[in-house]
């Protein structure tokens, strides 16, 4: 059975490996990226490069977007050269970015008017997991459309969760990222406390990974923390953006998030001290700096 043509918009740190997996799985692929130079590698692998999101959408049954923020999503979907200017009725728009529920709802309404199906499908996981197709994917939207697109999603993610017909996936991603940020901060503080007491980082992480507080996230960050390798899998600046969304949504709903608000300020401190483009586990460097250990700048 011939596979549907998939469009992919956004070839950043996550979009590149995810789109490559679709190509390797045999899907005809059309790509667009605002910076055209980023399309060169995947074009060599056989993807067609479109000049605009609108040009891409006119050729595709399924259109995936993986962009930096809410504003970028609205530009590539709602703009004069956006997806919804030309998308065929019955085609499916799948947004895999982390954006606000409000922006998502605006896109959903515009898609409905164009008779285009819309799935919210934000992901959890690192660039390495994107490359191996082991991401987690949280999906909401029409359940029949979800079932229709599930084969595409299973190329990208090992665990795919259907959460409801509306914006549920957006809220679940915010819940997830709140936990990611708070966990990275408390891990940083715990390691610095032990470091000050003379414990080795590697030994502390060995114990933590074999204890009641072990988690996949702590496991993922173990090697980078031991090797002091803070190359970004998920940058501080991107987590800042997500925490701004989380706190805005919480304010609208009347939900106090005091710890989240404090972590947001610590992310701002890390960015102000030159760590904005480092991985979020560089909160460990900030904690060292605040404790007067190594100056917080001893990076491998």
**What CATH number does residue 267 fall under?**
1.10.1040.10
CA–CA distance, 257 with 246 (Å, rounded to integer): 9
Q: Which candidate, 249, 274, 271, places its Cα nearest to that of 260?
A: 249
Determine the pLDDT at residue 2: 83
Same domain for 105 and 15, yes or no, is yes
Same domain for 206 and 279, yes or no, is yes
Domain boundary among 166, 201, 229: 166
Residue 299 has pLDDT above 90, yes or no: no
Is residue 197 in some structural domain?
Answer: yes
pLDDT-above-90 percentage for the chain: 96
Mean pLDDT of 41-60: 97
Is residue 176 in some structural domain?
Answer: yes
Residue 297 has pLDDT above 70, yes or no: no
In tens, the pLDDT along 90-138 reads 999 999 999 999 999 999 999 999 999 999 999 999 888 999 999 999 9
Determine the pLDDT at residue 294: 74
Determine the pLDDT at residue 295: 53
Determine the pLDDT at residue 50: 97
The tokens describing 181, both together, are: 């940020």
Q: Which residue reads 């930096």 in tokens?
A: 68
Mean pLDDT of 177-202: 98
Same domain for 157 and 114, yes or no, is yes
Same domain for 193 and 139, yes or no, is no
Determine the pLDDT at residue 298: 53
Q: For the chain, what is the domain count?
A: 2
Is residue 1 in some structural domain?
Answer: no
Residue 262 has pLDDT above 70, yes or no: yes
Domain boundary among 102, 133, 166: 166
Determine the pLDDT at residue 300: 47
Residue 296 has pLDDT above 60, yes or no: no
In tens, the pLDDT along 160-187 reads 999 999 999 999 999 999 999 999 999 9
Among 27-36, 149-158, 289-298, name the one with the lowest average pLDDT.
289-298
Contact 266, 185 (CB under 8 A): yes
Determine the pLDDT at residue 1: 67
Residue 33 has pLDDT above 60, yes or no: yes
CA angle 227, 233, 234 (to 5 degrees): 120
Chain-centroid distance of CA 3 in Å reads 26
Q: Which residue reads 């922006």 in tokens?
A: 103
For 107-128, letters b (16+ CB in 10 Å) and e give bbebbeebebbbbbbbbbbbbe
Residue 261 has pLDDT above 60, yes or no: yes
Residue 54 has pLDDT above 90, yes or no: yes
Number of neighbouring beta carbons within 10 Å of residue 202: 13
- Residue range of the domain that includes 151: 6-166
Is residue 289 in some structural domain?
Answer: yes
Is residue 220 in some structural domain?
Answer: yes
Same domain for 10 and 57, yes or no, is yes
Task: Write the burial class of residue 265 (CB in 10 Å: 0-12 exposed, 13-18 middle, 19+ buried).
Answer: exposed
Is residue 45 in some structural domain?
Answer: yes
Same domain for 119 and 201, yes or no, is no
Same domain for 160 and 184, yes or no, is no
Its pTM stands at: 0.93
Determine the pLDDT at residue 265: 98
Same domain for 158 and 183, yes or no, is no
Domain boundary among 140, 166, 192: 166
Same domain for 127 and 197, yes or no, is no
């Amino acid at each position: 059975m011939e596979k549907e043509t998939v469009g992919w918009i956004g070839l950043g740190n996550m979009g590149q490996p995810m789109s490559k997996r679709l190509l390797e799985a045999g899907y005809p692929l059309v790509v667009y990226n605002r910076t055209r130079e980023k399309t060169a590698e995947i074009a060599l692998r056989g993807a067609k490069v479109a000049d605009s999101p609108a040009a891409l959408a006119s050729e595709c049954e399924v259109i995936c977007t993986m962009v930096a923020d809410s504003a970028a999503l609205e530009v590539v979907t709602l703009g004069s050269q956006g997806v919804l200017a030309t998308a065929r009725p019955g085609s499916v728009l799948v947004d895999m970015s982390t954006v606000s529920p409000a922006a998502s709802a605006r896109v959903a309404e515009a898609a409905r008017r164009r008779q285009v199906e819309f799935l919210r499908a934000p992901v959890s996981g690192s660039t390495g997991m994107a490359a191996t197709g082991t991401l987690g994917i949280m999906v909401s939207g029409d359940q029949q459309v979800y079932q229709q697109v599930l084969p595409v999603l299973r190329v990208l993610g090992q665990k795919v969760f259907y959460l409801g017909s509306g914006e549920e996936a957006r809220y679940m991603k915010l819940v997830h990222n709140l936990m990611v940020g708070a966990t990275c901060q408390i891990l940083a503080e715990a390691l610095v406390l032990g470091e000050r007491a003379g414990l080795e980082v590697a030994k502390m992480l060995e114990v933590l990974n074999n204890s009641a507080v072990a988690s996949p996230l702590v496991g993922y960050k173990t090697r980078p923390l031991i090797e002091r390798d803070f190359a970004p899998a998920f940058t501080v600046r991107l987590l800042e953006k997500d925490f701004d969304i989380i706190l805005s949504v919480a304010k609208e709903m009347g939900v106090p998030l005091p710890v989240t608000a404090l972590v947001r300020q610590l992310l701002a401190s890390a960015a102000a001290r030159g760590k904005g483009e480092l991985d979020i586990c560089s909160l460990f460097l900030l904690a060292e700096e605040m404790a007067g250990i190594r100056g917080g700048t001893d990076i491998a």
